[in-house]
Amino acid sequence: MNPEHILALVHQCYRPQVNDSITVVTSHDSLLPTSSRIESASVLGREGLIFKRNNDTKWVMSMEVKLPYFGSWINKPTLEMPVFCVNNYTESVLSNLIAYEDAYNRADKKYITSYVHAMSMLMNTYEDVAILKASYVLVNFLCTNERVVEMIKKIDRSGVESVYEEQWKRLNKYRSSWMGRFGL
């Protein structure tokens, strides 16, 4: 590969090795169906969802909803996700990668944009950030929990292509089922 820009090289690191398993849905946030949205980490946590580090070797940005099988009283629903490290460069790097996706990545899926939007939905308050930190899926080397929320909201795009659509559908379907409503 001969990248045309340094951002192309960095972006390549975040692409999945297997593209067939990822579905992209293009839409505007205000028009996204409810299955395309997820609640914040605090709401999902109160409903019994566990946040866990992802160990996917195929894609570093993989987010996967793992649901308990029927009859299992021990397992809880889990969202496995990549570790989000916040440091001096996070806002700049993510903003530039999103700009790269917007400008040069016309035929490809917008992985960084989707990831930032997913994190934005999960983090609405400092409490959400604290829950993700306690679950070891967020590491904050830089600032307050409130600043993390401000940063992610600032760089989130209103029009988004969601590579996590199928996972959000599974989670929302489970949440609306009787098992999900009773935290089973």
Write down the pLDDT at residue 182: 56
CA 68 – CA 49 distance, rounded (Å)? 11
Q: Please list, in sequence order, all residues whose beta carbon lies within 8 angstroms of the beta carbon of residue 43, skipping any fewer than 6 positions away.
A: none
* Domain locations in the chain as residue ranges: 6-15+25-175
pLDDT tens-digit map of 146-160: 999 999 999 997 666
Tell me 57's DSSP state.
Answer: S
* Calpha distance 46→34 (Å, rounded): 19
Contact 28, 159 (CB under 8 A): yes
- DSSP, collapsed to helix, strand or coil, labels residue 180 as helix
- DSSP E strand stretches across the chain: 25-28, 50-53, 64-66, 78-81, 84-86, 138-140, 159-162
Condensed to tens digits (0 to 9), the pLDDT of residues 9-65 reads 677 767 776 554 444 443 334 334 444 788 999 999 998 899 999 887 677 788 999
For the whole model, what pTM was predicted?
0.81
